[in-house]
C-alpha cells in the first residue's frame, strides 16, 4: 500500500482559445474561516457549500493563467508564494512542471495587489524580481492607492502591513527598474488583451478580457472568491473588500455582461483548472465548469 501516490501530479492544464494557448497553473488553495463574508451567516454559508458538496468553511483555490500567442508570453497573477502556508505558493513548481522558465515571461499582468495575487512577483528578502525579464502591467488606480502614504496612514495596522507594505515590496522593484506600466479601464495593453475594471474589491481591481478569432474570454480575478456563494448570490461581499457595496454592484453588472457576451470564464478562485461558462440559476448564476479535454 505504501506504493500508492500521496499527492497529485502537477496542477497544470492547457486550453486553446483561438490563437492563444491558455495554461491554468494552480497556486494551491487556502482554508478560510466563516468571517470572510460580510453580513452572511454561518448557517447560510454551510447551506450553500453543502448544496455543491463543498467543504465549509470554504476552501479558496488559487489559480494563475499563462497566455502564449499573439500577445507573447504573458502571466496573469503570480500566486501567494510563502504567505498562506503549505497548501499554497505552488505557482513556481507548476511553472517548472509545465517547462516554463520564469525568465521567459515577457509581461506579468495583475488583477490587483493582494498577497494571493501579487506575492509571487518578488523575493522580498532581497528584492529580487522573480520574473527578471518581464514588464509588469497594473491598473494605475491600484498603484496610486497602495503607494499613497495618505491612504496608508488611514488604514488599520493589518492592512498597512499586508496590503500597503507588502504591495510596495512586491511591485516596488519593477517600478524602480522602470518595468512598471500603468493602464486604465478599456486599454488594450497587449494584442488582444484589454483591461476591464471591476473596482470595489480593491480600488483598481481589474479583470482581463482576451479576444481571439472573434471569441472572448475573461480572466476575472476576484470577481468571486467563493464561487459557490458569490456567483449564486452576487450581492454577498467579502470582509476584506475595500468598498463592499461597489464590489457587489460591479460584480452584478459584470456577471450579466459576461453572460450576454458569451465569454468563457477563467477564475483565479474557481476550483482548478478554473474554466467555465456562466448560466442563469434563479436570481443568481451558476458556473458550468468546462469538461477536461485530452487534446489541446
Ligand atoms: Zn484573491
155 lies in a domain? yes
User: What is the distance in A from the centroid of ligand 1 to the CA of 111?
Assistant: 9
What per-residue confidence (pLDDT) applies to 1?
A: 60
Please state the domain count of the chain: 1
7 lies in a domain? no
pLDDT per residue as tens digits for the range 15-31 = 999 999 999 999 999 99
70, β-bridge pairs: none
User: What is the distance in A from the centroid of ligand 1 to the CA of 80?
Assistant: 9
Q: Does the CA dihedral 259-59-62-242 come out positive or negative?
A: positive
User: What is the distance in A from the centroid of ligand 1 to the CA of 212?
Assistant: 26
User: What is the distance in A from the centroid of ligand 1 to the CA of 282?
Assistant: 26
User: What is the distance in A from the centroid of ligand 1 to the CA of 269?
Assistant: 7
What per-residue confidence (pLDDT) applies to 293?
A: 87
- Tell me which residue range forms the domain holding 33: 12-289
The residue with cell 515577457 is 106
113 lies in a domain? yes
What per-residue confidence (pLDDT) applies to 294?
A: 87
265 lies in a domain? yes
What per-residue confidence (pLDDT) applies to 27?
A: 98
User: What is the distance in A from the centroid of ligand 1 to the CA of 289?
Assistant: 19
5 lies in a domain? no
215 lies in a domain? yes
Residue 213 is part of a domain; what is its CATH number? 3.60.15.10
Cell triple for 34: 466563516
181 lies in a domain? yes
What per-residue confidence (pLDDT) applies to 269?
A: 98
What per-residue confidence (pLDDT) applies to 206?
A: 98
User: What is the distance in A from the centroid of ligand 1 to the CA of 190?
Assistant: 23
What per-residue confidence (pLDDT) applies to 188?
A: 98
Contacts made by residues 247-251, CB under 8 angstroms, sequence distance 24+? 247/199, 247/200, 247/201, 247/205, 248/200, 249/200, 250/198, 250/199, 250/200, 251/198, 251/200, 251/223, 251/224
User: What is the distance in A from the centroid of ligand 1 to the CA of 295?
Assistant: 30
109, 76 Cβ separation under 8 angstroms: yes
60, 87 Cβ separation under 8 angstroms: no
CA 83/CA 249 separation, integer angstroms? 30
2 lies in a domain? no
Name the stretches of the chain with pLDDT < 70.
Answer: 1
Amino acid at each position: 500500500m505504501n506504493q500508492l501516490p500521496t499527492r497529485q501530479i502537477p496542477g497544470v492544464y492547457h486550453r486553446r482559445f483561438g490563437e492563444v494557448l491558455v495554461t491554468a497553473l494552480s497556486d494551491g488553495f487556502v482554508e478560510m474561516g466563516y468571517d470572510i463574508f460580510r453580513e452572511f451567516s454561518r448557517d447560510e454559508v454551510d447551506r450553500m457549500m453543502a448544496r455543491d458538496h463543498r467543504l465549509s468553511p470554504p476552501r479558496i483555490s488559487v489559480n494563475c493563467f499563462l497566455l502564449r500567442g499573439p500577445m507573447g508570453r504573458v502571466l496573469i497573477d503570480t500566486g501567494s508564494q510563502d504567505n498562506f502556508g503549505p497548501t499554497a505558493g505552488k505557482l513556481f513548481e507548476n511553472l517548472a512542471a509545465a517547462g516554463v522558465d520564469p525568465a521567459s515571461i515577457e509581461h506579468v499582468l495583475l488583477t490587483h495587489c493582494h498577497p494571493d495575487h501579487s506575492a509571487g512577483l518578488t523575493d522580498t528578502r532581497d528584492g529580487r524580481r522573480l520574473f527578471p525579464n518581464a514588464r509588469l502591467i497594473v491598473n494605475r488606480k491600484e498603484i496610486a492607492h497602495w503607494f499613497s502614504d495618505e491612504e496608508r496612514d488611514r488604514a488599520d495596522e493589518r492592512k498597512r502591513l499586508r496590503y500597503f507594505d507588502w504591495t510596495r515590496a512586491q511591485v516596488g522593484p519593477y517600478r524602480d527598474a522602470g518595468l512598471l506600466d500603468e493602464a486604465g479601464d478599456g486599454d488594450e495593453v497587449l494584442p488582444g488583451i484589454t483591461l476591464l475594471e471591476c473596482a470595489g474589491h480593491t480600488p483598481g481591481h481589474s479583470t482581463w478580457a482576451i479576444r481571439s478569432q472573434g471569441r472572448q474570454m475573461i480572466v476575472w480575478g476576484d470577481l468571486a472568491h467563493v464561487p459557490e456563494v458569490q456567483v449564486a448570490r452576487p450581492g454577498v461581499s467579502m470582509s476584506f473588500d475595500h468598498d463592499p457595496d461597489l464590489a457587489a454592484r460591479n460584480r452584478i453588472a459584470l456577471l450579466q455582461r459576461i453572460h450576454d457576451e458569451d465569454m468563457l470564464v477563467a477564475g483565479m478562485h474557481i476550483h482548478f483548472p478554473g474554466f467555465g461558462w456562466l448560466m442563469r440559476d434563479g436570481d443568481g448564476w451558476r458556473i458550468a465548469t468546462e469538461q477536461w479535454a485530452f487534446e489541446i
